[in-house]
């Protein structure tokens, strides 16, 4: 949402590239290969050639782990001629899949240009559907940054969004079109940042033409923060004085300068926030807002119901499909319900290939399946996305599963299906089956000396409260037959903590920043997992091949477990980083 400085005819460009998708993709691949054929990685496979068929035949499909040794070399100072001929100028730090460290995606000079074009195209689509909302008012967009880190050779590593906010000219865009002061966006204390962004958004409530956050979690966190702080915010608005706990000098200065005593405004906000029900609170507080823009597909779809409750009927725009690896797609029908959203992949952003995922023969090895080009995907088929970029990714598996839902001109449109392997996610944390298994395995060692064995476990991400948290169901059986044996609450709390300690860096850092609440273990009665199995079998799962799901997605299945809960335990503190 943040960048609108590209004033080209975006809709015309979208029509052209989606009509000439095949040529656009071919040309882009040729350019990438011609530029980088001499760099070490490609020359290993192509011997200096730039032929597409050779590229497809010889260059392997890779994951991040495969190319990490090359990335480490770049991070350590070999900035050019490793993956790309051009120099790598910084890294995008992705939120990671779930591993210990986030992924580091190389960025070359071309990437910021692509990013500008991408946001320009997105803004054109939004203006086509919602009019020139920047002329009608301001954007209340909750934006947060994380401090840069540096590689051993001094290259900066930052998230895509932080990188965008640090771009030249962003400060001007912010002051012209947003309610949040730049100082609040760059404040590293998320509570102070959130408070100041809400305060300025409330002070300018009659000017706000749209409400936004990159992903749905941040917006819901803002609403929860408002629930906890509205009286204090109103008191500040009434007196024109900023609370003393806002100690960040940038925030204090930026916000205080916009404040003057306004008892009338304070009263109107108090009347709205003081209502018993907060249904429709966004529309009530920001009556001129025309839409809410936030990604609410994929794992974020779990938040749609809550967002709808607060939105008061405002359109929920899930507009972009972006990753650190590439600016992939745009939703050309931003008024569509999140469940109906498809993203049109933009053929000028990266060279895309698609590895068919055959749900009927999941055991078929991926090596025997050939990826297809963008224009050759088939309707209703699921694919894993592969990206070849200007920044040194070649046939790189992003890890997302997409389903073809239609075409815009010659370009396919995709529904975001899932993150391959992620089973739990609340915010930017992504926990795979394997991660959860590892965490459970470590935690249960605490129980073994007490004579319990873990009969089964499963999990789900509970987002009914904000912030959400991981719930892990455990069925425990005393080794010595005594089924009434009491569980020691301290040991069980330690188990929760041990699991959290074992989870990935992003999870732990989200916990520290209170973006994820304490992990909970719910101990269920014996036999609960059998009842769960009966349920799935009754729904058609073959008994012989039944595997307890690592994560529960069915409400009926969840009810079975929840109705059998005997005790609940929570992690007593956030894990070490």
- What is the DSSP secondary-structure string of 179-234? SS-HHHHT-S-HHHHHHHHHHHHHHTGGGEEEEEEEEHHHHHHHHHHHHHHHHHHH
Q: Does 97 bind ligand AMP (CB under 6 A)?
A: no
Closest by Cα among 10, 25, 18, 16 to 387 = 25
CB of 297 to ligand AMP, least distance (A): 4
Specify the stretch interacting with ligand AMP by CB under 6 A; choose among 50-58, 303-311, 320-328, 493-501: 320-328
**Other C-beta atoms lying within 10 Å of the C-beta of residue 530:** 12
Specify the stretch interacting with ligand AMP by CB under 6 A; choose among 218-226, 236-244, 321-329, 496-504: 321-329
Q: What region, left, alpha or beta, does residue 460 occupy, with left being phi > 0 and alpha being psi -120 to 50 degrees?
A: beta
Residue nearest to ligand AMP (CB): 298
197 near 180, Cβ under 8 Å?
A: yes
Residue choice 400, 427, 435, 500 for contact with ligand AMP (CB under 6 A): 400
Q: Does 324 bind ligand AMP (CB under 6 A)?
A: yes
**Other C-beta atoms lying within 10 Å of the C-beta of residue 577:** 8
Cβ-based nearer residue to ligand AMP, 14 or 300: 300
Residue matched to tokens 């929860």: 224
CB of 428 to ligand AMP, least distance (A): 6
Residue choice 3, 4, 90, 94 for contact with ligand AMP (CB under 6 A): 94
Q: Is the dihedral of CA 494, 495, 496, 498 positive or negative?
A: positive
Q: Does 303 bind ligand AMP (CB under 6 A)?
A: no
CB of 294 to ligand AMP, least distance (A): 10
Q: Which of residues 474-533 bind ligand AMP (CB under 6 A)?
A: none
Specify the stretch interacting with ligand AMP by CB under 6 A; choose among 248-256, 322-330, 363-371, 471-479: 322-330
φ, ψ of residue 371 in degrees (nearest 5): -70, 150
Cβ-based nearer residue to ligand AMP, 95 or 200: 95
Q: Does 141 bind ligand AMP (CB under 6 A)?
A: no
* Cis ω before 287 (30° cut-off from 0): no
386 near 371, Cβ under 8 Å?
A: yes
Q: Does 114 bind ligand AMP (CB under 6 A)?
A: no
* Cis ω before 467 (30° cut-off from 0): yes
Computed over its alpha carbons, how large is the radius of gyration of the chain? 25
Specify the stretch interacting with ligand AMP by CB under 6 A; choose among 168-176, 297-305, 484-492, 496-504: 297-305
Q: Does 122 bind ligand AMP (CB under 6 A)?
A: no
Q: What strands, in cross-sheet order, belong to the sheet with 291-295?
A: 138-142, 208-215, 291-295, 316-317
Tokens standing for residue 291: 């839409």
How many residues sit close enough to ligand AMP to count as binding (CB under 6 A)? 17
Q: Does 322 bind ligand AMP (CB under 6 A)?
A: yes
Cβ-based nearer residue to ligand AMP, 232 or 305: 305
Residue choice 123, 323, 348, 571 for contact with ligand AMP (CB under 6 A): 323
Q: Does 268 bind ligand AMP (CB under 6 A)?
A: no
CB of 400 to ligand AMP, least distance (A): 5
CB of 105 to ligand AMP, least distance (A): 7
CA 5 to chain centre: 25
Report which DSSP code applies to 476. Answer: E
Residue matched to tokens 């080209």: 8
Specify the stretch interacting with ligand AMP by CB under 6 A; choose among 1-9, 291-299, 366-374, 534-542: 291-299
Cβ-based nearer residue to ligand AMP, 311 or 323: 323
Q: Does 398 bind ligand AMP (CB under 6 A)?
A: yes
Cross-strand pairs, 150: 156
Site string for ligand AMP, 405-434 (x = CB under 6 A): -----------x--x---------------
Collapse the DSSP code of 452 into the 3-class scheme (helix H, G, I; strand E, B; otherwise coil) and give the result. Answer: strand
Q: Does 121 bind ligand AMP (CB under 6 A)?
A: no
522 near 565, Cβ under 8 Å?
A: yes
CB of 371 to ligand AMP, least distance (A): 17
Residues found near ligand AMP in the complex (CB under 6 A): 94-95, 160, 295, 297-298, 300, 318, 320-324, 398, 400, 416, 419
């Amino acid at each position: 949402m943040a960048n609108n400085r590209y004033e080209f005819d975006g809709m015309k460009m979208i029509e052209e590239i989606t009509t000439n998708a095949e040529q656009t993709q071919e040309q882009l691949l040729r350019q990438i290969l011609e530029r980088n054929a001499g760099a070490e990685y490609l020359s290993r496979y192509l011997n200096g050639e730039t032929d597409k068929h050779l590229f497809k035949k010889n260059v392997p499909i890779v994951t991040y782990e495969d190319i990490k040794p090359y990335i480490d070399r770049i991070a350590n100072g070999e900035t050019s001629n490793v993956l790309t001929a051009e120099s790598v100028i910084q890294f995008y730090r992705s939120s990671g899949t779930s591993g210990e460290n986030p992924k580091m995606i190389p960025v070359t000079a071309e990437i910021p240009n692509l990013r500008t074009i991408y946001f320009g195209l997105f803004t054109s689509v939004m203006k086509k559907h919602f009019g020139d909302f920047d002329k009608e008012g301001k954007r209340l967009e909750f934006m947060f940054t994380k401090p840069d880190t540096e590689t051993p050779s001094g290259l900066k590593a930052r998230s895509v969004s932080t990188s965008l906010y640090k771009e030249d000219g962003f400060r001007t865009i912010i002051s012209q079109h947003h309610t949040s002061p730049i100082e609040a966006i760059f404040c590293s204390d998320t509570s102070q940042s959130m408070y100041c962004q809400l305060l300025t958004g409330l002070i300018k409530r009659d000017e706000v033409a749209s409400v936004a956050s990159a992903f749905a979690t941040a917006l819901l966190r803002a609403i929860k923060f408002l629930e906890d702080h509205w009286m204090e915010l109103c008191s500040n608005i009434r007196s024109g004085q900023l609370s003393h706990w806002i100690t960040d000098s940038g925030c204090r200065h930026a916000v205080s300068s916009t404040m003057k005593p306004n008892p009338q405004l304070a009263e109107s906000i108090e009347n709205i926030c003081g209502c018993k029900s907060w249904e429709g609170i966004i529309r009530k507080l920001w009556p001129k807002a025309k839409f809410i823009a936030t990604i609410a597909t994929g794992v974020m779809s779990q938040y749609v119901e809550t967002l709808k409750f607060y939105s008061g009927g405002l359109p929920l725009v899930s507009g972009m499909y972006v990753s650190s690896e590439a600016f992939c797609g745009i939703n050309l029908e931003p008024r569509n319900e999140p469940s109906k959203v498809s993203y049109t992949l933009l053929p000028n952003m990266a060279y895309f290939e698609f590895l068919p995922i055959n749900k009927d023969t999941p055991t078929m090895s991926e090596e025997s399946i050939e990826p297809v080009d963008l224009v050759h995907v088939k309707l209703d088929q699921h694919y894993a996305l592969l990206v070849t970029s200007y920044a040194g990714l070649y046939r790189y598996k992003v890890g997302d599963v997409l389903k073809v839902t239609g075409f815009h001109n010659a370009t396919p449109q995709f529904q975001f299906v899932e993150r391959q392997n992620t089973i739990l996610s609340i915010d930017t944390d992504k926990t795979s089956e394997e991660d959860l298994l590892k965490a459970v395995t470590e935690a249960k060692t605490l129980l073994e000396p007490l004579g319990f064995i873990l009969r089964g476990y499963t999990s789900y991400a509970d987002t009914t409260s904000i912030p959400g948290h991981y719930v892990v169901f455990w069925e425990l059986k005393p080794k010595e037959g005594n089924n009434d044996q009491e569980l020691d609450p301290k040991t069980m709390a330690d188990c929760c903590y041990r699991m959290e300690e074992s989870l990935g860096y992003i999870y732990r850092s989200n916990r520290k920043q209170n973006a994820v609440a304490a992990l909970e273990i719910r101990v269920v009665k014996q036999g609960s997992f059998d009842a769960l199995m009966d349920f799935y079998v009754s729904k058609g799962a073959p008994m012989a091949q039944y595997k307890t799901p690592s994560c529960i997605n069915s409400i009926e299945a969840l009810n079975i477990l929840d109705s059998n809960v005997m005790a609940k335990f929570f992690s007593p503190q956030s894990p070490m980083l």
